[in-house]
Amino acid sequence: MTTTAITHISALVTNAPSLGDESPLGLIQDAAVVIEGDRVVWTGASSKAPATDNAVDAGGRAVIPGFVDSHSHLVFAGDRTQEFNARMSGRPYSAGGIRTTVAATRAATDEQLSANVARYLAEALRQGTTTFETKSGYGLTVEDEARALRIAARHTDEVTFLGAHIVSPDYADDPAGYVDLVTGPMLDACAPYARWIDVFCERGAFDGDQARAILTAGRARGLHPRVHANQLGHGPGVQLAVELDAASADHCTHLTDADVDALAQSDTVATLLPGAEFSTRAAWPDARRLLDAGATVALSTDCNPGSSFTSSVPFCVALAVRDMGMTPDEALWSATAGGAAALRRDDVGRLAPGARADLVILDAPSHVHLAYRPGVPLVREVWRAGARVA
C-alpha cells in the first residue's frame, strides 16, 4: 500500500497521551504523521519521519483528528425558517414543529431525501467532520421510518432508529398504540438497517416507562440504546440511559446531582448539543459540572431543521468554550475522541497507529484557534481513510 507522510505540523493532536505530551490531547510539536492505506502507522517528530512514497508539507499548520459528529437528524425535507424567525423575533408561532417536518418528509421522494443527506454531509465534511451518526424520526410510519433508515445507511454505518421521536400525529389519541407500533411492526421493518435505537424521553414525547419498553425491545433485536435525555427539564432520561448501558445520553441540559453521579460512574457518554441551546435561547448545559465529576463528554451538532440547523462542529466547539465552561482542549477532545466514545468506537477520533487516517489540517498553528477565531473557515484540508477528500 502507498505510504504518505504529512510533515512540518506545528502541533499534532493525537488524543493518545502516551504519544505526545501526556495530556489528554497527546500533543506533539513540530510533528509528522505517516499514513499507509487508510490507517495511521506512525506519529512523531517531523525530523524523524520515515521515508514514504509521498510527502505533504503542512507548512507549520496544526493537524487534528477528524470530527466525530455522533448526533444528527439529516433525513428530512423542508425547513422551518418561519418558526426560527418568529422565535428569534419574540413572536408566538403556532405551526407544528416536528410535525411540520414529518409532513414534508413523508411527501418527499427517496431521491429528494437522499440528495438532502448528501448535501448536508458534504457541508459537514468541508468543516472537518469525517464520521457522523444520523437518525430517522421524521417519518413515524412503518414505511417512512424504514425508508429513512435505508437512505441513511447509504451514507453511514452509524444509523439510528428514532421512531420514538414524538407520538405520530396518526396516533395522537392513542399513544400506547403508537408504542406498540414502534416496538412491533416498525421495529421489525427498521432493525435491519440500523445499529442504534433512540427515544425522546421528555415531557410531551415519551415517559420513562414508554422509553424503557421501546429501548428494551430494540436491544432484544440487536440495536444498542441511545437516549434524548433531560433537554427540556428534569426527567428520567439520564437514569434510564445509564440503567440500560446506553452509549450516550444526549442533551443533558437539566441534571440533578444524582444524574451527574450516574453518568460519571458509567460508560454512558454525556453528549452535549450547544447548537440547540443557541437556536432556542435555552439554558446552556453545564459541561464544567460533568467534567469535574469525571463524566465522559461529547460535543455534537444535533443538525436538524427545527432546533439546531447547523452542520458545523467548529461552531459547536466555540460555543462550548464560550458558554459551557469547557477549555479549548476539552472541547476539541469532546468533538473527536468524545464523539467516538459516544459511538463506542476506537478507530476514529484519534491519530495513533492503527486508527483510521481521518484528519483535518487547520489553517492555524494551533487547535485553540477553533474557539479563538469563531466563525472563521479554518479547515484547510480534510483527509478521510487516508485520502484527501476536501
Inter-helix orientation angle 98-107/142-153, to 10°: 80
pLDDT of residue 99: 87
How many other CB atoms are there within 10 angstroms of residue 91's CB atom? 9
Residue identified by cell 487547520 is 362
Helix (H, G, I), strand (E, B) or coil at 384: strand
How many other CB atoms are there within 10 angstroms of residue 81's CB atom? 10
Which H or E element spans position 164?
strand 158-164
pLDDT of residue 91: 80
CA distance 110 to 321: 39
CA distance 347 to 15: 12
pLDDT of residue 46: 97
Which H or E element spans position 131?
strand 129-135
pTM exceeding the 0.95 threshold for the entire prediction: yes
CA distance 100 to 120: 20
Main-chain dihedrals φ then ψ at residue 314, nearest 5 degrees: -55, -40
CA distance 77 to 101: 7
The whole-number mean pLDDT for each consecutive block of 10 residues of the chain, a chain of 390 residues, reads 97 98 98 98 97 98 98 96 90 70 96 97 98 98 98 98 96 97 98 98 95 98 98 97 98 98 98 96 96 98 96 98 98 98 98 98 98 97 98
Question: Cell numbers at residue 233, please?
Answer: 427539564
Q: Given strand 54-65, what is the order of strands in its sheet?
A: 39-45, 28-36, 3-12, 54-65, 359-362, 379-384, 387-388
- Between the alpha carbon of residue 57 and those of residues 3, 210, 257, the distances in Å are 14, 55, 49
